[in-house]
Amino acid sequence: MPQTLPRTGTVDGETPLHAVSFTVVDLETTGGSPDACAITEVGAVRVRGGDREGELSTLVRLEARIPRPITALTGITDQLVADAPPITAVLPMLLELWRGSVLVAHSARFDVSFLNAALRRHDYAEIDLPVVCTATLARRLVRDEVRNCKLATLSRHFRTTHEPTHRALPDARATAEVLHALLERAAGMGVSTVAELLELCRRPDPTTVTRRHHLTDGLPASPGVYAFRSAAGEVLYVGRAVDLRARVRSYFGSDPRRMVRGLLRETARIDHRVCPTEIEAGVRELRAIARWRPRFNRRDKPPATAVWLKLTTERFPRLSIVRTVRDDGATYLGPLRSTRDAEQIRDALHDALPLRRCTMRIGARTRAPACALAELGRCRAPCTGELTPDAYASVVADARSALCDGSGPVTSWLVERMTALADAERYHEARWRRDRLAALTDAVRRQRTSQALAAVQLAAWRPVGATEADVIRIADGRLAGSARCDRSQVMSAATGLSARPPADTPPYVVAAERVMLHTWLTAPITVPLWVDGSYGEPVAGGATLRATAARLRRRRAGTRADELRTKRVPRAVTAPGRTGVR
């Protein structure tokens, strides 16, 4: 009878890709037949949102000898696996590592067939997780850019940190990086959920619209922005590309997704605008999506109205989610991505500080009974009339410092609480605190970046190839223009660029543009030409923000691994000379 283990969980098809865990698996085997051959090495990496949650690497002891051609290819010998754990000890670790995730492999049919054969032989149920094949995904997304879709080719194409070596863990790490690069490409085509990703990976639908392939004729192999338009002129979808021709042609192949088929059915023409630089293409895409709000740009569409979190200026201030910024002396954090982000940040501050949450107007003579939050110690209860504004001021100061620069006791309290919950194995609650803290940290860093560029006029350049350079000019914290030129002409090129960015851009798009520009400007290869004004971030809170961001990355990588190591993975099954679950 197959064993029943709480190993798979469920993966909701509507889960956003940034919120789902992927377990990337790679196997080394003694041959190509799952029934006649055996697994010699297992490597697996569990990732979520770009962060590593856990790893598994182990050799597998065999009863048969390893064929010489396999040893020549992988370097795995009979002596290496002699003291390794058997597959019966490795399977429970794998089952736990991939529980509740999407399984990923390069040429997934091969790896899944070997895993299922091993599971069947030892009375486990077969894999019932969603499976993504990076080779199939690459054929859908980048087949016009690479000569083949082998892992080594894709690794070189995407310049991954880890290189495949025909060993399980290095290959799994390289596959994870390739996966993230492919997910970025897929996101540019509107893929934002697990269901949409799985649909992209399925066998092509023979009814896919291909007869409009001629719409791509004349597109240049240059950076730029493209727009799919209907017969009535409606902008259906906007995207950017390093190579306009290759990117747009990829839509007209065998893409099986319903969204793309629907887009192609409605498309009557494709407009494009060549941009001299990739950074200009990215900025113009942001502005175009904000202007046209295309129906098929679901993931990238900015909020219809911006959202801020406000610390009011009342006698006893409180937090309020608002959609406008007034010159009223209040402290604002934003613009934020969504009302949900604002709620998470508000909840984070309410977790850490006894701020009042009621909306009643509290005057000097107000007397009201204390609420339940006051009885729990989570509100200072100024409504009772027993608290003075001066006594409440320290709470307000802590909230203001958290909103302005991420410093003060709020961040440290949230980190300590998150850590304590994780140590107590209350992982679900720890994840809540982590997500709230991440929302706060990200919003503060974005606001500081936006403010650093807000009143700056500057020009800068970075090298391209051996002799050329990309030059940009920024006015009032916005991209005014860019150019590609010979390196000897960067100053004259910058002087000739426009100094007027477009007006009437929504606040959230302005903030997103400034973050994009800040990333470009702070890259090590960027060289400033001139700066009119002050360009820099405040010192206050900078170290705290960096430390908190680093700790959040470690916590994302460590929570699942700690759970595996301390609760479910037997110590005896780690292969000598190899790392186990980390």
Return per-residue pLDDT of the chain as tens, 582 residues.
444 333 345 677 888 898 899 999 999 999 888 888 999 999 999 999 888 899 999 999 998 889 888 888 888 998 889 999 999 999 999 999 999 999 999 999 999 999 999 999 998 989 989 999 999 999 888 877 888 899 999 999 999 999 998 899 999 999 999 999 999 988 888 888 898 899 888 755 444 445 567 888 889 999 999 999 999 999 999 999 999 998 898 887 655 555 777 788 889 999 999 999 999 999 999 999 988 999 888 766 666 678 999 999 999 999 999 988 898 999 999 888 888 889 999 999 998 899 998 888 888 888 888 888 887 888 888 888 888 899 999 999 999 989 988 767 888 888 888 888 888 888 888 888 888 888 898 888 888 888 888 878 899 999 998 999 999 999 988 999 999 999 999 999 999 998 788 877 888 888 889 989 998 998 899 999 999 887 776 555 555 556 665 555 554 444 333 333 333 333 333 333 333 333
C-alpha distances (whole Å) from 145 to each of 80, 150, 178, 223 are 39, 13, 14, 14
| Alpha-carbon span 444 to 538, nearest angstrom | 12
Under DSSP, the state recorded for 568 is I
Q: What domains lie within the chain, and their CATH numbers?
A: 17-199 (3.30.420.10), 203-292 (3.40.1440.10), 307-451 (no CATH), 456-532 (no CATH)
H or E segment to which residue 28 belongs:
strand 21-29
Of 353, 199, 331, the residue nearest 262 (C-alpha): 199
- Residue 568: the pLDDT is 34
| Alpha-carbon span 299 to 350, nearest angstrom | 30
Q: In this structure, what token pair is assigned to residue 208?
A: 């896919």
- Residue 410: the pLDDT is 84
pTM of the model: 0.57
| Alpha-carbon span 167 to 577, nearest angstrom | 14
Strand-pairing partners, residue 124, are 3
Residue 14 near residue 89, CB atoms below 8 Å: no
Residue 3 near residue 125, CB atoms below 8 Å: yes
C-alpha distances (whole Å) from 182 to each of 80, 336, 485 are 35, 27, 31
Residue 108 near residue 132, CB atoms below 8 Å: yes
